[in-house]
Amino acid sequence: MTAIAEFAPRARHRFLFDRAEVLGPLFIAPAILYVFALVALPFFLAIYYSISAFTIFDPSYRFVGAKNFLDVMQSDVFRRTLANTFIFTIGAQIIGLLLGKFAAMLLMKEFPGRGLARALVVLPWAVPVSLATLAWQWMFDSLYSVINWTLIAVGLVDAAHPPQWLGQQDLAMIAVTVVHAWRLFPFGVVIFIAGFTSVPKDILDAATVDGAGFWRRNYQIILPIIMPIVVIGLIFGTVFTFTDLSVVYLLTRGGPINATQVLGSLGFQVGILSGDVAHGAVICLFLFPFLLLVVIFMLRALRRREI
């Protein structure tokens, strides 16, 4: 009896730490609270701003309904921005995916220096975006561009009128898209490599024995097997591109004359630099329907994985 009495306090302490049904929620609560406080609440705050006349100069709340949305949708700059965002996203995805698949197929082979080649190919994805973009800005320099120097040396371009990569509307859009594709394609490479290595060798051997050639093996056997992983990679890539503002902001600030403006950079310019929080919030909220679609796709992809 005395022994039991002695252990009583410890038993109570054990009681709490022994109940999985208490510990489970206790363990996960901080994560949920953090995400709720700093992701969910700010999101609702953005909606709140979008239907008000809130600016940093006049931070009082005045309900204006859908006026901000109408303002934004009627502006030419915004329409151009929306179109740019899609061109930017689709262009970078296509280049990134094609290059990624091609590079992954090359890197699947054994050859001397493969490890080094893979490490170098991954660099654009690994290095912080602002620093890598600076290098491109220097390569696109209006006077000392190495790209122009090379083009002139080869004789493709007239030395008197070298292309202004970041100063001409059409070229700037191409430059921004290519830089983002450059950043994205290593991600495609690793995704495809992960996919390729997961294809069982015996299936390929069986197909080869049955007479399947290169294209048939690639598109009727390998592709369907690696599809789930490619879809997830594509979803991530699309989200990163569609919502990116770093590359555009650093290279062109959205210019010349808004020619490269995307939703993110326009939202930044209006909401932060000009201080018009309400209209900035509206512009950024235009990302949301797109993200919602992506989430639905993502859920389906994840569910397919379970089966």
Partner 1 sequence: MRLARKLIGEGSFFAAVFVLVTFAAFPFYWMLLTTFKTDGDLYNLKSNPYWFNAAPTLEHIKYLFEETLFVQWIFNTALIGVCVVLITLVVALPAGYSLARMPGRTAESLGIGIFLTYLVPPTLLFLPLSRVVSLLGLQDSLWSLVLVYPTFTIPFCTWLFMGFFKSVPREIEEAAIVDGCTVMGAFVKTVLPLSVPGILTVVIFAFTLTMQEFVYALTFISSSDEKPVTLGVATDLIRGDIFYWGELMGAALIASVPVAIAYNLFLDRFIAGITGGAVKG
Residue 172 engages partner 1 in binding (rule: CB under 8 A): no
**Residue from 66, 86, 98, 130 binding partner 1 (CB under 8 A):** 130
Among 23-31, 71-79, 167-175, 206-214, the segment contacting partner 1 (CB under 8 A): 23-31
Residue 175 engages partner 1 in binding (rule: CB under 8 A): no
**Nearest to partner 1 of 90, 106 (CB atom):** 106
Report 41-70 residues binding partner 1 (CB under 8 A).
41-43, 45-46, 49
Among 38-46, 71-79, 163-171, 209-217, the segment contacting partner 1 (CB under 8 A): 38-46
Residue 119 engages partner 1 in binding (rule: CB under 8 A): yes
**Nearest to partner 1 of 188, 259 (CB atom):** 188
Q: From the CB of 87, what's the least distance to partner 1, in Å?
A: 17
Residue 31 engages partner 1 in binding (rule: CB under 8 A): yes
Report 193-252 residues binding partner 1 (CB under 8 A).
194-195, 198, 225-226, 228-229, 231-233, 235-236, 239-240, 243-246, 249-250
Q: What tokens were used for 201?
A: 């060798």
**Nearest to partner 1 of 209, 298 (CB atom):** 298
Among 1-9, 34-42, 67-75, 169-177, the segment contacting partner 1 (CB under 8 A): 34-42
HEC string for the chain: CHHHHHHHHHHHHHHHHCCHHHHHHHHHHHHHHHHHHHHHHHHHHHHHHHCECCCCCCCCCCECCCHHHHHHHHCHHHHHHHHHHHHHHHHHHHHHHHHHHHHHHHHHCCCCCHHHHHHHHHHHHHCCHHHHHHHHHHHCCCCCCHHHHHHHHHCCCCCCCCCCCCCCHHHHHHHHHHHHHHHHHHHHHHHHHHHHHHCCHHHHHHHHHCCCCHHHHHHHHHHHHHHHHHHHHHHHHHHHHHCCCHHHHHHHCCCCCCCCCCHHHHHHHHHHHCCCHHHHHHHHHCHHHHHHHHHHHHHHHHHHHHC
Burial of 225 (0-12, 13-18, 19+ CB in 10 A): middle
**Nearest to partner 1 of 19, 79 (CB atom):** 19
**Nearest to partner 1 of 173, 226 (CB atom):** 226
Q: Do 141 and 166 contact (CB within 8 A), yes or no?
A: no
Based on C-alpha coordinates, what's the Rg of the chain?
26
Residue 305 engages partner 1 in binding (rule: CB under 8 A): yes
Q: Which amino acid is at 42?
A: P
Residue 91 engages partner 1 in binding (rule: CB under 8 A): no
Binding mask 250-279 for partner 1 (x = CB under 8 A): x------------xx--xx--xx----x--
Among 76-84, 169-177, 191-199, 212-220, the segment contacting partner 1 (CB under 8 A): 191-199
**Nearest to partner 1 of 57, 209 (CB atom):** 57
